[in-house]
Amino acid sequence: MRDYRYNCTTLVYLLPIALLIISLFVGRYQTPMSAVVDESINIFSSLFFGTSASVSTQHTVLFNVRLPRILAALLVGASLSTAGVSFQGIFRNPLVSPYILGVGTGAGFGACLAILLWNSYLLIQCMAFAFGLLAMFIAISMSKASKGTGTLVLVLSGMIVGSIFTALTSLVKYLADPYDELPAIVFWLMGSLATVRFVDLLYILFPMFIGTLVLFLLRWRINILSLGDEEAKALGMNVEKMRLIIIVCATLITSAAVSISGVIGWVGLVVPHISRMIVGPNYSRLLPMSIVIGASFMLIVDDLSRTIAATEIPLGILTSLIGAPLFAYLLKRGRLGWN
Amino acid sequence: MELMLEVKSLSFSYGNGKVLENVSFSLKKGEIICILGPNGSGKSTLIKCIAGILKPDSGSIHILGKDTASLGAGDIARHIGYVPQQNEVVFPFSVLDFVVMGRAPHLSMFASPGADDIKLAKESLAMVGISDLAERPVANLSGGQNQMVLIARALVQKPALLLLDEPTSHLDFGNQILVLETVQRLASLGMSIVMNTHMPDHAFLVGDRAAALAGGRLVAVGKVETVVTSKMMSSVYGVNVAVREIEDMKRKVCLPLRR
């Protein structure tokens, strides 16, 4: 029984790679298997032997349109899930999402402001990233300034920050030009990976890598933080410092994800639960599993978003339509791996 | 013999309310001290101050001659194991995973427990007699089993001093005795133990020494026989109490009197 489960768990780790390959073929533009192989050989030969790769439509679709988008989906899904599972651990609450400290609404406001003022793709990304981090810093400083301690004040501070940025976002929408800017804002807020290019991936890769690496290395310590402050202290942990490191890293990767994809809900909430059902609550196994399941889940949803209708369906809509019923089903099964 | 623990004129307050005032006592290697006192007398606060969870306003705590104020949280946790009254585990870790967490102060920040740590955890499960529970989720345990798991976790810290905050308070009669026997066995292995308890009788059962707290002040400390007297217990708890020797058992008991 144990061996069987162990093997299945190992197989799950290969899922993102399998999905990556499958996703290259999925889409409105039909590409036969042989074309992908041809193009791959083409690219490798141009890389290693210096022969010039012919730029066909197929090549453009596969490697300039689909591949960056697939990679972005994998990265965004992995990041949101890692942040979600980490926040759930340190807030000792399995219903916490990566946006708990107002990161989502902060980033949303930053992006909307950039659309209103400059409408440059790069600046939208930068502003979303910066305001996501800003929201977290305001929430943390607010909780530090208050007399109360612990996670409850932090969550309340996050709510305050979130609602201020929601109001500001509404203000920006109200001021925006209804024919040009407003649709761009609304579209961005619903989340999409349709316009991702390779160069966009470069900007997010570094913060995502650093944040995820630190969380991965600290994953066993999240178990101890989830026991509560007093017990963690009695086990020799510097609770405030450890919690701050984890919050900063989780916010870093959430902001990076939001900056290229917009605000995508439910992934960071549902994926940790699916992962808990597979490997149990121990973060040593849970965090890596969340990375893998998160990447796979996001890629599947993005494949759906570009194939089920003639026009793109925004990702945020699909993740909610898929995530919410899935969560309800998990609740009904009552095997969520928490009390 | 070397002093394991020395608490000197310790005071602590939450905001304006004084909880502990000028508390002093000491403990040798392998000794058990039972802290008695009514609800709200500061027993738990005293234990949490010693464990380094709460910072005292004044006074000092020395463990093996070292001032805990100068030690980091990790250093304290390598010397002192803390067994909380109850724990609320949000995520249902397996008993083994939970007990291994006691290795935290011995591992570097980015490290995860290895085979040696798991072996130590299994040994300490065996020591408190719950090896068969290793794979069970901590959430589904009975009160007695849960208390044993918490003790096992403190044991893998390899502490010289063990602090227990009312370890028997939620347990049935049999489990209370089981926990007390375990405490006694650990002391016989050389561990020093500070135990809060609601039952003065427990001091007669396992205590070498006893201390009585009332309103944050230590009103008596010393050999169990000198602290658990009918006069002292009656005044501390505000009810009439009798202490009698049971001759054929060769020990004393503390009983409430009927009005």
Domain B3-256 fold is: Rossmann fold (3.40.50)
Task: Give A135 to chain B, closest Cα distance, Å.
Answer: 27
Mutation site, B91, B146, B161, interface A, largest A CB count within 10 A: B91
Percent of chain A with pLDDT over 90: 29
Return the domain boundaries, chain A. Answer: 68-333
Q: Which chain B residue lies closest to A338 (C-alpha atoms)?
A: B91
Radius of gyration of chain B (CA): 18
For residues A34 and B123, give the distance between their C-alpha atoms in angstroms, rounded to a whole number. 59
Q: B41-50, pLDDT tens digit by residue?
A: 999 999 999 9
Q: Which of B5, B39, B41, B38 has the alpha carbon at shortest distance from B24?
A: B5
Contact B104 A94 (CB under 8 A): no
Cβ neighbors of A306 (< 8 A, separation 6 or more) are A26, A27, A28, A69, A194, A312
Query: What is the number of H-type helices and E-type strands within chain B?
Result: 9, 12
Q: Which chain B residue lies closest to A2 (C-alpha atoms)?
A: B135
Q: Is A29 touching B (CB cutoff 8 A)? A: no
Q: State yes or no: pLDDT of A338 exceeds 70.
A: no
Q: Which chain A residue lies closest to B50 (C-alpha atoms)?
A: A234
Label residues A109-119 b or e (16+ Cβ within 10 Å = b): bbbbbbbbeee
User: Which numeric CATH code is attached to A68-333?
Assistant: 1.10.3470.10
Cross-strand bridge partners of residue B83? B164
Q: Which chain A residue lies closest to B97 (C-alpha atoms)?
A: A282
Contact B110 A339 (CB under 8 A): no
Contact A93 B90 (CB under 8 A): yes
B154 within 8 A of B167, measured Cβ to Cβ: no
Centre a 10 Å sphere on the Cβ of residue A202 and count the other Cβ atoms it contains.
9
Q: State yes or no: pLDDT of B62 exceeds 90.
A: yes
For residues B221 and B209, give the distance between their C-alpha atoms in angstroms, rounded to a whole number. 7
Among A219, A221, A282, select the one facing B93 at the smallest CB separation: A282
Contact B51 A234 (CB under 8 A): yes
Task: Give B46 to chain A, closest Cα distance, Å.
Answer: 14
Contact A236 B74 (CB under 8 A): yes
Report pTM.
0.89
The amino acid present at A259, given as its one-letter code, is S
Band of pLDDT at residue A339, cut at 50, 70 and 90: very low
Contact A337 B48 (CB under 8 A): no
The two beta strands, B17-28 and B66-67, are: unpaired
Radius of gyration of chain A (CA): 21
Structure token digits, residue A254? 């959430």
Q: A197-253, pLDDT tens digit by residue?
A: 888 888 889 999 999 999 999 999 999 999 988 999 999 999 989 998 999 999 999
Band of pLDDT at residue A302, cut at 50, 70 and 90: very high
Q: State yes or no: pLDDT of B190 exceeds 50.
A: yes
In the predicted model, what is the mean pLDDT of residues B158-181?
Answer: 92
Centre a 10 Å sphere on the Cβ of residue B257 and count the other Cβ atoms it contains.
10
Centre a 10 Å sphere on the Cβ of residue A168 and count the other Cβ atoms it contains.
18
Q: Which of B207, B211, B203, B213 has the alpha carbon at shortest distance from B243?
A: B203
Q: Which chain B residue lies closest to A238 (C-alpha atoms)?
A: B73
Half-sphere exposure of B72 (CA within 13 A, CB side): 8
Contact A230 B88 (CB under 8 A): no
Q: State yes or no: pLDDT of A1 exceeds 60.
A: no
Contact B73 A238 (CB under 8 A): yes
Q: Which of A307, A300, A254 has the alpha carbon at shortest distance from A274?
A: A300
Per this entry, what is the length of chain A? Answer: 339
The two beta strands, B217-223 and B241-246, are: unpaired
